[in-house]
Each structure stands twice: as structure tokens, then as C-alpha cells.
Structure 1
Amino acid sequence: MTKGNQKKPAAGAKTQQPAASHLLKGEKVSFDDDVAEKKVSDEELNSRYAKGEIRIVTEQARYPLAGILKMLEEKIDGEGGEKEFRYKLDPEYQRRHRWSVERKSRLIESFLMNVPVPPVFLYERELARFEVMDGRQRLTALSDFYADKFELTGLQYWSDLDGRTYSTLPSKVKDGIDRRYISSIILLKETAATEEQAAMLKKMVFERLNSGGVKLGSQETRNAVYGGPLNSLCLALSENESFRRMWGIPLDPSPEEKETDEEEADEAVDEPTKAGTRMFEKMEDVELVLRFFAYRQITSKFNLNKISEFLDRFIMGGNSFAPTLLAKYKAMFEATVAFLWEVLGTEAFTVLGSSKRPTKIVYDPLMFVANSADVVPHRAKLVAKKAVLRDELEAMYKTNHELFSGRRTNFKDTQDRNRCVSEAFAAAITKTKQ
């Protein structure tokens, strides 16, 4: 296309800023370390295999059930002299996926009958210090049983033991379960040369371990293998009350919610919804927080068509952000959510005038623009005249209905949505000055 035939921006449209112009100091994450693909010879492949490249190093162990409680309670010296658990479970994961008493009881019955139980999978984060990657529920159920935290119930073959705790079992039965073992496979620290490689290998192993059971959501896997300061911040911010209300997430979600239907009616989100409960169970609320931070770095290379890979790469880099930057992230998220709650309430992330159901395709640009330097100074005026902003957004969604529906998620679409939302805010800001 010649210069004279280039299409001019629509009237009132803002020129897009360079991708990094709005980023804070130290916030930029590099996505440019990919190596161009090239054809590899058989000789090179044989050499790499012989050298042990990308080879998992493991060992096996067996733990007597009677020692599980003591094992999980053991503490050792950590960094700075503070005590930490030798075997780390993930308390947030446990809270969201806690087994029912009936399921714990069935596990105990399996050991009573010597039914084979799958091994747990551990990762050696430091020498003789472990993270439980797979088998959290089994270990927690066993430790709870030996701590007398629940009574056996719903047993199929040993129903006469219903109502018994470990300490009240008949002596022979107690001796029988005490002599059982649970096996483990330990992914050793020698597996990876760098922290990034270790995280990638952990993710690969974790996904393959769970491929035969209930499919885990992307954030559930991310939470299990990319633990760190940014991940912890996202977990904490996902509990924001206004944020949960806008997505229909229960304010005090039950860890033992029943299964929900796949389809969700088009309903108001003043009250918890089935979709909101599912989001909590799959940790999608935590992923939404992460999306807000990561969305600031979207480029034509990593866009929403590759969102899972993009978020993986971002959280690996973001976990090394300085505490001062994470503090700014926290303030940024909380202020943006508070502002949108005041002006739009439970309909903030819906296509106003069209749907009552919140969507990510609205959430991403709305959070991005509401936090921009063009909007932040005018928040108070927009709150005072909230109806003006609502009208501008509703008109914008009506004009650009196709852009805010379906699965239009390439880089150009993300930038077009940012521009449309930005123009709606700019129009509302202008009217608040009149």
C-alpha cells in the first residue's frame, strides 16, 4: 500500500502508545529468548540424549502411614533462621479442593484392605526439602485421620467401623493399618540446571501426572508449579469482595461445593452464580488477577491466542519482581476494582445493555483503560457522574458488538478493544467537564 493510500485513523481515535510506555520500572518481562527452530540431525539427537539433556532424575521412597502425621508436621531451619515445613503442602489448593469425609474414609478403607493406592509425587526444592506436587489430598487425609480429625463414614466393606476415629479403632485393625505404606516418587533437584528449567519441567511432569484424572485448569497447574511472591499476591487479591461480586463468586466459597451444570443462565450477578462457583473451584479468579498484570505486557508476539503460555512466562518472570513493585501492583488492582465497582457495580464486566454475564473479553480492556494515566486523574468525577460513563460504554458496546463477543482474541482485536473503551472513557471525561 502506498503512503497516499494508507487508511487514516477514525476521528477521535487515539494513536496506540508503544507497548512498554505504561510499564512501571522493573516491570518489563522479556519474551524474546526463543531460539529459531532448525532441523536437527540424528547425530546431534544421539549426542544430546547421551549427555542426559532434558532427563528427569528421580528416586523412590516408601512412607509408613503411622509416620505421615509427624512427617508433615516436621519443621526445619529455613532462610533467615525461620522455621519452615520440610514437606510443603499448598494450603490454598487444599482449601479449594478439600476432600469430603466420605472420600477420606474410602482412602482409609483402601489401605485397610491393602488395595493399591497411587504413589505421591514430590519435588526436591532444596536438599532434603520437598514440595508435594501430586498427592496432597491423600497425605492430608492420612494426617487428619491419625490426628483424629474425622470419623470414618460411608465405608463400603468395613461399615462396622463407621463412626470410629483412628484412636478408637480395635487394636488389631489399628496395627493392620499402621503397617501399611504409601509410595512416593521424588523429582530430584539435579533434574534442572536453572530455576526456570526446573519450573518448566515441574509443569510438564505435573500436567502428565494429572492427565488421567480430572483435568486441572491452567491456573491450578500454575499455582502448583510456579509458586512465588506474584502468585501469592494474585491469590490474596482474588479474595477482594467487590471483585468477587462482579464475577458472581461466593464471598465465602464452600470447599465441598457440589458439581455444577456446564451451562449457566444469563442472570444478574448480585448473588453467587454457578459459573462463579466453578471459577473459584478451578482458580480462574486467581488467573483473572494475573491477567490484569500480564495484559499490560501483551505484544503482537504473545497475545490472547496464546494466553496460557503467555501467563506462564509472565508469572515466571513476575515472581522475581521487587517487593516495592508488587506493592504497587496491589494498590493498582485494588484501586481499579474499587473504582469500577463504584461506577458500574455488578455489571462492570458485562456487555452493558446486552448481557448480564461477565466476560474476560470485557474485563481485560476495561481494567487496562480504567487504570491508565488518561483515566486515573478523573476517577472522582466519573464516580460523581457514573450514569454518563455507563451511557458511553453502553453505546460503544452496541456499536462494536462483534468486537466484544465471540472469540476475537488476536493482537489487533485486543488493541481495537482498548481503543474503543478508551474512547468511551474519553467521551465521558469530556462530558463531566461541561
Structure 2
Amino acid sequence: MATIEDTDARIEFERESRAPTDLELEPITSEDEDYESAPPSYQISTYPADFTLEVLHQKWKTDEILIPDFQRRFVWKQVQASKLIESFLVGLPVPAVFLYSERKSQKYFVIDGQQRLKSIFYYFEGYFGPETQGARKVFRLTGLSPDSIFNGKTYEDLRDEDKRRLKNSVLRAFVVQQLDPADDTSMYHIFERLNTGGTLLTNQEIRNCVYHGGFIGLLNEINANSIWRTILGKDTPDTRRKDIELIVRFFAMRDISVYKKPMKDWLSKFMKKNRDAPKEALDASRDLFNRTCAQVVASLGEKPFHVRSGLNAAVFDAVMTAFSNNLDAIPVNIADRYTTLIKDPDFDRDTRTSTTDVDTVNGRIKKAEEVLFG
């Protein structure tokens, strides 16, 4: 379990790394504690698997291996990648990678080893790094000893026997699979602890990696809604996906009857459940969100949830949920009612302390419904 010092350090790291265009969220102790909550107990199976590089490359090309969309993506320099390839060619040991075997699809998600795997795949393809401005850089092994027979060689330049040696080289993988409970929520926590590159990912960045699918496409789309950006008070999407996390929170809050603390895991389960939602459901969600945003701004003006210092996530989820349930019955004095709500002592308490507790969540949403639309 994270210590207070660890939690404070992580939260401080994220706040210090904010871009000037990122959201300003009101600091709430209970939200920070939920954000850093310890994972539940799991039964996990971990076993070694030795794959040849050729097999790994084939699995990647057929989407049997999925590399999460980390914020920084591929960051290795060509010299680093070249020395990795040389290690395989001369028989030097290479650190193992970690793969998560998803229960439903049986596909592998890369937990740790993105840089190594992409270096291998790029070399087989002959180009270093992804396409940039319609062009890709030829991958020649660079930075090796001038005496190395592989220095300056592309994959196609290798002798046939060296190509076979590389393709048949083995990279050990530790495969992780969750046995109990019957979901894949542990993958979220594993990513949280083993992401590469030294960058601490936010909860929503990890969810975007783990729960890829049509729902994430919808989230990215509606996050660009100009009226939504007016509510946030920021024109540019948040670099750490905090704005998208608020959208997930809005959708998840609409059925609080099943809510369980911590909110961090509840939002993750909601995304997992809806990751492959049908088009009809996604269209309905888009319409609901856009209509709610439009009505909130029309009724309460810009940045309505910046009630103290920064956007208050608890005020946001309660009021947005209430509005979404009453889009066709907006009182003429809704602005005055909102002022009354913000000054209500019970609502104030439920948006300042213990904001992720079940009773508090239910209390503030009920209060918002009563005062705004009762």
C-alpha cells in the first residue's frame, strides 16, 4: 500500500508536470486518496514463455500483441535500438518483457517492453520509428563498434544466416493472467506500476491503454466539443486526459445504484463494460452528453463548476447528472436554484470531504436533483 509520502509525491509530480493549458482541478483530499487507493486482492497467474522474434513480429502484425498507446509512445534513439538488435545477433542476453493475457480475447497486452519490441519490429520492417510527414527513416544499425560486421546494416543487408539467427532469437516473456475475480481489472494496476519510460501515467491514461475500443473513440470525439471546453474553461485538451476522465465520470454517475468505492476502480470497470458498446449506444451517449453540456452552459454560464479554486469534480458530477435527467424540464429560475445549491451546507460538505464514499456520492446527487429540479 502506498504511504502518505508516496501518495503526496505522486500527486505533487502530476501537479508540477501540468501544462499551462491543462485543467485546474480543485484539490480535494478524498479525491487524492481515492486516486491512490490500493488495489483489491487478486489471484494472478504468471508464467514464462519463450517466443522467437519472428513469432512476436507475426503476432504484432495480426494484432495478437497490442502495444498500449502510452503518452510518449516510442522514445528510444536509433543507437539504443541498434544495440538491442546487435545483442540478439551476437547472442547477448536481453531483459524479458511482460505481457498481459486478456481473458476474453486471449490477446497479449504489453505491460513492460514496448521499446524493445518496437525496436525489433521496426528493424524487421526496415524503418526506424513511425511515419512522420509521409516519410519513414531507414533503420540502419548505428552507434556500434566500427569493427562490427553489423554496423550500418539494414535487415535486408544482413547475410541469410544472420537473418535466420535474428528471426530465431528468443525473447523471454512473462505472461500475466488474472484468475480471480472474473475480470481484467488487475491489468490496470499492473500498468500503473510497470509502465515504461519513467513517466507516471494518470489513471485515465492507463484506462486508455487498457480499455481501447469504440468507447475511447467517442470520448476523444466529444472531448473536442466547443461547449464542453467552455465548461472546463480550457480550449486545449488536457495533456494527461483529466478532461476525458471527467466525461467518464459523468456517464458512470448516471447509474449510482451500483457504485462502489474506490471510484478509481469503478470508473475502470465502467470503461471495460462499455469499451465495445454498439454504435446505437455510442450515438445515444454522444447526444446525451452534448445536450447536457449545451443546457448547462445556457443555464449556468461558462465555467459553472469552478465554485472555489479550480473545477470541483464532485460539484461537476452531481450537477451534470441532475441536468442530464431533466433536459426537458429546466426551471426558469435554474440559475437562482444553482446558487442556492452551492450554498447548501449539506451539498457543500459532500463536495469537500469524503467525496468518493457511497453515502456522500448518493447524498450530493440527490441534493442536486432536489434543489435544481424538485
Q: Bigger radius of gyration, 1 or 2?
A: 1
Distance 1:212 1:312, change over 3 A: same
Whether the 8 Å CA contact 2:305–2:312 is kept in 1: the answer is: yes
1:72 is aligned with what amino acid?
Answer: W
1:310 is aligned with what amino acid?
Answer: W
Q: 1:347 and 2:303 equivalent?
A: yes
Distance 1:147 1:235, change over 3 A: farther
Q: Select which of 299, 310, 314 maps to 2:266.
A: 310
Which residue is 1:332 aligned to?
288
* Separation in 1, partners of 2:118, 2:197: 21
* Cα distance per residue 1:380-399 (max 9 Å; x no partner): x86xxxxx644543454245
1:199 is aligned with what amino acid?
Answer: D
Matches within 5 A, 1:311-390: 311-318=267-274, 324-344=280-300, 346-351=302-307, 354-355=308-309, 357-373=310-326, 376-378=327-329, 389-390=334-335
Structure 1 length-normalised TM: 0.55
Which residue is 1:219 aligned to?
204
> Would you say how many aligned residue pairs link Structure 1 and Structure 2?
312
Give secondary structure in 2 for the equivalent of 1:199. Answer: coil
Give secondary structure in 2 for the equivalent of 1:99. Answer: coil
1:393 is aligned with what amino acid?
Answer: Y
2:342 is aligned with what amino acid?
Answer: Y
Distance 1:133 1:234, change over 3 A: farther
Q: 1:183 and 2:178 equivalent?
A: no
* Separation in 1, partners of 2:106, 2:279: 28
Give secondary structure in 2 for the equivalent of 1:366. Answer: helix
Identity of aligned residues (%): 19
Distance 1:109 1:362, change over 3 A: farther
* Cα distance per residue 1:42-71 (max 9 Å; x no partner): xxxxxxxxxxx945163412333x776555
Matches within 5 A, 1:160-309: 167=154, 178=166, 182-187=171-176, 192=179, 197-200=182-185, 202-203=187-188, 205-207=190-192, 209-210=194-195, 214-227=199-212, 230=215, 233-244=218-229, 246-247=231-232, 269-272=233-236, 276-278=238-240, 280=241, 284-299=242-257, 302=259, 305-309=261-265
* Separation in 2, partners of 1:223, 1:169: 36
Q: 1:97 and 2:97 equivalent?
A: no
Distance 1:229 1:171, change over 3 A: closer
Give secondary structure in 2 for the equivalent of 1:62. Answer: strand
**Shift of residue 330 of structure 1?**
2.8
Q: Select which of 53, 63, 87 maps to 2:52.
A: 63
Structure scoring higher RCO (CA < 8 A, sep ≥ 6) equals 2
Give secondary structure in 2 for the equivalent of 1:377. Answer: coil
Q: Which runs of 5 or more residues in structure 1 are unaligned?
A: 1-52, 75-84, 248-268, 383-387, 428-434
Whether the 8 Å CA contact 2:67–2:114 is kept in 1: the answer is: yes
**Shift of residue 211 of structure 1?**
10
* Separation in 2, partners of 1:345, 1:105: 53
Structure 2 length-normalised TM: 0.62
2:50 is aligned with what amino acid?
Answer: A
Which residue is 2:80 aligned to?
106
Whether the 8 Å CA contact 1:242–1:338 is kept in 2: the answer is: yes
Q: Select which of 84, 108, 113 maps to 1:135.
A: 113
Q: Which runs of 5 or more residues in structure 2 are unaligned?
A: 1-41, 130-136
* Separation in 2, partners of 1:325, 1:88: 26
**Shift of residue 368 of structure 1?**
0.4
Distance 1:291 1:159, change over 3 A: farther
